[in-house]
Homo-oligomer: A and B are copies of this chain.
Amino acid sequence: MKTIAIIEDDQSIGDLLEEVLEREGYLVKRAYSGTEALYLLSRQRPDLVLLDLMLPGLSGEQVLEKLSGVPAIVVSAKAGVDDKVRLLLEGAADYLTKPFEIQELLARIQVQLRKAPSPAAPLFQAGDLTLNTLSREVTVGKEPVHLTKTEYAILKLLLQNPTQAVAKSVILDRIAQDTPDCTESSLKQHVSNLRKKLRDAGGRETIQAVWGIGFKLVLDGEETSL
């Protein structure tokens, strides 16, 4: 999901934008002044910024300087060519004059986002479970779950083979580099801890035992009658 920061002091315009963007599936952050914008940007890096020029606090131009890589679409009532040219040369990715058609804005947002270097999101998902192999973060819904190295390795292996039964010997094999001394009896302990953490984070029971074999991930409320 892409994050878009709306930097706009006019409440009603901002509300409208937020509503439209969220309906399109974007995650929206807002700031109402230049200084607030800088604070917002310092805390997190959105994929795109919608920037109003006439801001209290810092001017839009000053905010623009601080973006360092995040594309910005300037949305302004200033229709003059000089303003457009200046902002575009100063780093704006695009410039739209108010009033504008919301459809055009959405299209131009897509243009900006599609050229972002989307580095093949290394994400594994199943149900409300998400595992990011880059940040090594695991979430249940929106809830982050802290896993140990071994638990992470187990869950990742299961997520790579959803709905398939994974033999205990295979699991031990694959996590051997992380946890060389793990035996079958400690494995069941890890699985138990893992299940508890997922449960505590609000997840359904997703790791199921396969009798005599190992474990598997169940996606839906499916039952595997023996």
Q: Is A118 an interface residue (CB 8 A)?
A: yes
> In the complex, which residues 124-148 of chain A have their Cβ closer than 8 Å to any Cβ of chain B?
125-128, 134-137, 144, 146, 148
Instruction: Name the prevailing secondary structure of the A interface residues.
Output: loop
Q: Is A160 an interface residue (CB 8 A)?
A: no
Q: Is the CB of B149 within 8 A of A211?
A: yes
Interface 0/1 of A90-130, CB less than 8 Å to B:
00111000000101101110110001011001010111100
Interface-facing stretch out of A8-16, A53-61, A184-192, A213-221 = A213-221
Q: Is the CB of A148 within 8 A of B68?
A: no
Q: Is the CB of A88 within 8 A of B111?
A: yes
**Given contacts A111-B88, A118-B117, is CB(A178)–CB(B212) below 8 Å?**
yes
Q: Is A33 an interface residue (CB 8 A)?
A: no
Copies of this chain, count: 2
Q: Is the CB of B146 within 8 A of A224?
A: yes
Task: Give bound CA distance, A224 to B152, whole Å.
Answer: 13
Q: Is the CB of A121 within 8 A of B212?
A: no
Contact with A108, one of B88, B101, B117, B149 (Cβ below 8 angstroms): B88
Shortest distance from the beta carbon of A122 to any chain B beta carbon, whole Å: 10
Contact with A115, one of B68, B115, B219, B222 (Cβ below 8 angstroms): B115
Shortest distance from the beta carbon of A158 to any chain B beta carbon, whole Å: 12
A126 CB contacts on chain B under 8 angstroms: 45
Q: Is A164 an interface residue (CB 8 A)?
A: yes
